[in-house]
Amino acid sequence: MSQTSAAPVAPTAEVPSIPLREIAPWALFFGLLGLLILFFISADQGAISIPSGNAIHEWVHDGRHLLGYPCH
Amino acid sequence: MTARAFLVRGLLIGLLSGFATFLVAHQVGEPHVETAIALEEAASADDPTATETAHSHDDEGTTVSRQHQRTWGLLTGSLAVGVAVGGLVALVAASVVGRIGRLSPGQSTALVSLIGFVSVALVPFLKYPATPPAVGSGDTIGDRTSYYFGFVLISVAFAAFSSLLAIRLLDEIGTYGAVLASAGVYVVAVVVAGRMMPTVNEIGDFPADVLWYFRRASLLTLATLWAVIGIGLTGLIGRLHRHERGLADRRELAASL
Q: Which amino acid is at B30?
A: E
Give the nearest chain A residue to B27 (CA atoms): A66
Q: What percent of chain A has pLDDT over 70?
A: 76
Q: What is the pLDDT of residue B77?
A: 92
Minimum-distance CB partner of B145 among A13, A20, A43: A43
Contacts 24+ apart (CB under 8 A), A3-11: none
> Distance (Å, rounded) from C-alpha B243 to C-alpha B248?
9
* SS3 per residue for A4-70: CCCCCCCCCCCCCCCCHHHHHHHHHHHHHHHHHHHHHHHCECCCECCCCCCHHHHHCHHHHHHCCCC
Q: What is the pLDDT of residue A9?
A: 46
Q: What is the pLDDT of residue A26?
A: 87
Q: Which of B55, B67, B78 to mutate to test the interface with A (most CBs of A within 10 A)?
A: B78
ipTM of the complex: 0.83
**Residue B211 sits at the chain A interface (C-beta within 8 Å):** no
Residues 34-93 of B with CB under 8 A from A: 56-57, 60-64, 68-70, 72-74, 76-78, 80-81, 83-85, 87-88, 91
> Distance (Å, rounded) from C-alpha B130 to C-alpha B203?
11
CB B23 within 8 A of CB B70: no
> Distance (Å, rounded) from C-alpha A31 to C-alpha A24?
10
Q: What is the pLDDT of residue B44?
A: 78
- pLDDT (tens, 9 = 90+) of chain B, 257 residues, equals 899 999 999 999 999 999 999 999 999 999 999 999 998 888 877 765 544 444 555 455 678 888 888 899 999 999 999 999 999 999 999 999 999 988 999 999 999 999 999 999 999 999 999 999 888 887 888 889 899 999 999 999 999 999 999 999 999 999 999 999 999 999 999 999 999 999 988 888 899 999 999 999 999 999 999 999 999 999 999 999 999 999 999 999 999 98
Which burial class, exposed, middle or buried, applies to A48 when counting CB atoms under 10 A from its CB (0-12, 13-18, 19+)? exposed
Residue, of A37 and A51, whose pLDDT is higher: A37
CB B116 within 8 A of CB A26: no
Q: What is the pLDDT of residue B56?
A: 52
Q: What is the pLDDT of residue A4?
A: 46
Minimum-distance CB partner of A26 among B91, B130, B214: B91
For residue A72, give the 3-state DSSP assignment.
Answer: coil
Residue A47 has pLDDT above 70, yes or no: no
Give A-chain residues touching B149 at CB under 8 angstroms. 43
Total-model pTM = 0.89
* Poorest-pLDDT segment among A6-10, A46-50, B216-220: A6-10
Q: What is the pLDDT of residue B19?
A: 97
> Distance (Å, rounded) from C-alpha B82 to C-alpha B61?
28
Q: Are A37 and B78 within 8 A, CB to CB? A: no
CB B17 within 8 A of CB B87: no
Q: Are A60 and B77 within 8 A, CB to CB? A: yes
CB neighbour burial string for B210-228, b if at least 16 within 10 angstroms, e if fewer: bbebbbebbbbbbbbbbbb
Residue, of B57 and A71, whose pLDDT is higher: A71
CB A65 within 8 A of CB B133: yes
